[in-house]
Amino acid sequence: EPEVTQTPSHQVTQMGQEVILRCVPISNHLYFYWYRQILGQKVEFLVSFYNNEISEKSEIFDDQFSVERPDGSNFTLKIRSTKLEDSAMYFCASTLTGGTEAFFGQGTRLTVV
């Protein structure tokens, strides 16, 4: 069964450092997403990406965040200067078309110290 894979599973970084979270979406999917879940809180939408550009982004997705599809398979989320409050589980997802079943990766737990 096709799946979304995320690396690393756990990332610890110092405050102020840049981190890149990596995702390999399902190969024939066209829409890609990042969500995050702070411990004990709801899953929150960050950004959606289609046709090499951002389709939608939330208020959380400020100038510190960026996404990129550097090649035909990877989809990355970069946080330029991490803050303590960026500590969360980050989920990547992909869909074949907009509004269809979203497949999620297993998540990357980001811990900012």
Partner 1 sequence: GENVEQHPSTLSVQEGDSAVIKCTYSDSASNYFPWYKQELGKGPQLIIDIRSNVGEKKDQRIAVTLNKTAKHFSLHITETQPEDSAVYFCAASKSNYQLIWGAGTKLIIKP
Q: Indicate the residue among 65 and 103 with the shorter CB distance to partner 1.
A: 103
Q: For residue 107, what are the contacts with CB-CB under 8 A and spacing of at least 6? A: 6, 9, 37, 89, 90, 91
Q: What 3-state class would DSSP assign to 84?
A: helix
Give the contact letters, 14-43, x = binds to partner 1 (CB under 8 A), - = no. Answer: -----------------x-x-x-----xxx
Q: Which stretch binds partner 1 (CB under 8 A): 12-20, 48-56, 62-70, 74-82?
A: 48-56
Please calculate the CA angle 42-43-44 and round it to the nearest 5 degrees. 105
Q: Does 106 bind partner 1 (CB under 8 A)?
A: yes
Q: Does 56 bind partner 1 (CB under 8 A)?
A: yes
Residue from 53, 62, 85, 101 in contact with partner 1 (CB under 8 A): 101
H or E element: which one contains 62?
none
By residue count, the chain amounts to 113
Other C-beta atoms within 10 Å of 78: how many? 13
**Interaction site with partner 1 (CB under 8 A):** 4, 6, 31, 33, 35, 41-45, 48, 55-56, 58, 91, 93, 98-99, 101-107
